[in-house]
Chains A and B, each alone.
Chain A
Amino acid sequence: MTRWVKLAVGLRGMVNDMLSEKDSEFLNYLSDASEAGKIRWQPTAGENQFTASLKGKYNVVTGTDHDGPWVKMTNEQDQMMLFIHANEDPFNRVDRIFVAARRVGLDVDAAIDDIISGE
């Protein structure tokens, strides 16, 4: 597995040393599971922001800013555990997570089915 040595500066002044292998595994899991519709993403009150909870312990939020999508994970005490911006991920998994979250959160497939069945 490739190791990235770049120093990635996240939003809100947080600094991630680099994307670790664990972070990368997490992004792989989250992008695959989101695209497979296994994660119940829900739209928040913020525009283009979606949230989901995992294992009864962790909360994941994805959204966009002027630089592109991001993903953050918090624990049940609302402490920030992870914040990964799309520009830190060379394999575009953060973008894929955001697109899949929007698809699930806004029920895009059901909307398309609705339109097609009405023809």
Chain B
Amino acid sequence: MTQMDWWTIVGTLASLGGFALSWYVLSVAKDARSAAEGAQALANKRSLTEELEQAKRNIEQIGDFLNKKEWMAVRIRAQEIMTSCREGLTRWPAGLSEERRNDILTVSSLVESIADQAAAPDVNDFGPNKLKLLSKAQLRAAGLLSDALGEARSRVEGDGE
């Protein structure tokens, strides 16, 4: 073989090596990208969980405020829950199943009705029946939030494994 042939062989091997290296780098980059996307999805779901946890704490506080008849506090917490529900549904559209999204929308509606009642001019004259209605709506909303939170948590745990 001539010296030219040797250079051709060396050149061919070098370009094959370069190709293999590029392929490796590309696949590593791809893996890194999908890992980053997975981590981002997980982080998003964690945030949805946190949002729902905050909403759950707020609905529990509404229960306390209803017992104490602290109507302004009821309205403030109700507003916060409605914001959490809206934000949760908008920022994480795929974070919950359709059924649980329905639950969150219902929570928002129930809480709005509580806030409406808490803003009534005769709120301080509410009788036991009216207070019971408010309390039942609060308990129903808390139950629905728990269901949604359970699903959000199990999705995070499922993805984290």
Which A residues form the contact surface with B (CB < 8 A)?
A: 40, 42-47, 49, 51-59, 61, 74, 76-78
Cβ contacts A to B, 20 pairs, < 8 Å: A40-B106, A43-B137, A44-B109, A44-B110, A44-B113, A45-B113, A45-B116, A45-B117, A45-B133, A51-B106, A53-B101, A53-B102, A53-B104, A53-B105, A56-B97, A56-B99, A56-B101, A57-B105, A59-B105, A76-B105
In the complex, what residue of chain B is closest to A52 when comparing beta carbons?
A: B106
The number of chain B residues touching the other chain, given as a range, is: 20 to 34
In the complex, what residue of chain A is closest to B88 when comparing beta carbons?
A: A76
Contacts of A47 in B (CB 8 A): 130, 133
* Interfacial residues of chain B within 64-109, with CB under 8 A of chain A in the complex: 82, 86, 89-90, 96-106, 108-109
A5–B13 alpha-carbon span in the complex (Å) = 82
Knowing A56-B101, A77-B90, say if A42 contacts B140 (CB, 8 Å).
yes
- B113 A49 Cβ-Cβ under 8 A: yes
Knowing A56-B102, A78-B82, A78-B86, say if A43 contacts B109 (CB, 8 Å).
no
Contacts of B101 in A (CB 8 A): 53, 56-57
A52–B130 alpha-carbon span in the complex (Å) = 21
Contacts of A54 in B (CB 8 A): 102
A56–B151 alpha-carbon span in the complex (Å) = 15
Which listed residue (A44, A45, A53, A77) contacts B103, Cβ 8 A? A53
Contacts of B102 in A (CB 8 A): 40, 52-56
A44–B108 alpha-carbon span in the complex (Å) = 11
Which listed residue (B86, B97, B99, B133) contacts A76, Cβ 8 A? B86
Min C-beta distance of A77 to chain B, whole Å: 6
Q: Write out, one digit per residue, whether chain B residues 136-147 have a CB within 8 A of any chain A CB (1) or not (0).
A: 111010000000
Contacts of A43 in B (CB 8 A): 133, 136-137, 140
- B108 A59 Cβ-Cβ under 8 A: yes
- A59 B134 Cβ-Cβ under 8 A: no
User: Does B152 count as interface, using CB distance less than 8 angstroms?
Assistant: no
- B110 A42 Cβ-Cβ under 8 A: yes
Contacts of B90 in A (CB 8 A): 76-77
Contacts of A46 in B (CB 8 A): 113, 116-117, 133
User: Does B52 count as interface, using CB distance less than 8 angstroms?
Assistant: no
A59–B109 alpha-carbon span in the complex (Å) = 7
Residue in B90, B98, B102, B138 whose Cβ sees the most chain A Cβ within 10 Å: B102
User: Does B48 count as interface, using CB distance less than 8 angstroms?
Assistant: no
User: Does B149 count as interface, using CB distance less than 8 angstroms?
Assistant: no
